[in-house]
A = this chain, B = another copy of it.
Amino acid sequence: MTITITAFERSPDGGKGLARDTRVRWALEEVGQPYDVRLVSFRAMKEPAHLALHPFGQIPTYEEGDLVLFETGAIVFHIAGHHAGLLPDDAGARARAITWMFAALNTMESPILEFGNARILEGDKPWSKERLPLVADRVRNRLSQLSARLGSADWLDGAFSAGDLMMVSVLLRLRASGILDEYLNLAAYVARGEARPAYKRAFAAQLAINAGK
């Protein structure tokens, strides 16, 4: 069955790969599944046809026959559960890889989103300069803990998994701030993710849509 995902007609990041369709593209590339892309404008994202697919009016969505999914974590988990390459076979290792998916999306991404809001949505507010260091330290707290756990390992728990795919994707949001580079092993971890051929193909595919717009 054909897999169709949605992506921004024009990504707010202009093609830096931070829009969440990149996470889904990466997963599909890792498992070698071809996919179609339907581009959605900001206006169309808030209209009934798209809201029927995605109640929060965002991208990406995932359509495969009758199945319609939204929420990147769920889509990547679905792909990982149906194709080899993103989750280990051993039950315990599989549960731990899934744990890192949830950790990336809840424990790590929550303060990172707050930090992004502080920098972008509230960057012109009178409190911005005084508040930003507080928010940055909430992110650093989590990064320190993640850095300690990763240590000198290549990936979070044995071989590369959907947990690493999601954690690298979440950490990439921090690159522009410079905070990631304060943690050498995390910066190297993210670079290892970006060096994967599947990531490169995913990145190139989203860039091709956004380049020159």
B122 touches A134 (CB 8 A): yes
A33 contacts chain B at the CB level, 8 A cutoff: no
The majority secondary structure among interface residues of chain A is helix
* A125–B134 alpha-carbon span in the complex (Å): 11
Pick the residue among B71, B78, B101, B113 that contacts A103 (CB under 8 A): B71
Pick the residue among B74, B117, B130 that contacts A98 (CB under 8 A): B74
Closest to A105 in B: B106
A99 touches B71 (CB 8 A): yes
Q: Which of A56, A99, A109, A134 is packed against the most chain B CB atoms within 10 Å?
A: A99
Pick the residue among B99, B105, B117 that contacts A102 (CB under 8 A): B105
A146 contacts chain B at the CB level, 8 A cutoff: yes
Identify which of residues 123-144 in chain A touch chain B, using a CB-to-CB cut-off of 8 Å.
125-127, 130-131, 134, 138, 142
* A148–B67 alpha-carbon span in the complex (Å): 21
Q: Assuming the A-B contacts A55-B146, A113-B110, are A70 and B125 also in contact, with contact meaning beta carbons closer than 8 angstroms in the complex?
A: no
Tallying the copies of this chain within the complex gives 2
- Report how many residues on chain A are interfacial, defined by Cβ distance under 8 Å: 45
Chain B positions within 8 Å of A58 at CB level: 107
Q: Assuming the A-B contacts A55-B145, A57-B145, A67-B92, are A98 and B127 also in contact, with contact meaning beta carbons closer than 8 angstroms in the complex?
A: no
* A122–B92 alpha-carbon span in the complex (Å): 40
A170 shortest CB reach to chain B, Å? 10
Counting from the closest, the 4 A-B pairs by CB-CB distance are A127-B127, A73-B102, A55-B149, A74-B99
Q: A residues engaging B (CB < 8 A)? A: 51, 55-58, 66-67, 69-74, 77-78, 92, 95-96, 98-99, 101-103, 105-107, 109-110, 113-114, 117, 121-122, 125-127, 130-131, 134, 138, 142, 145-146, 148-149
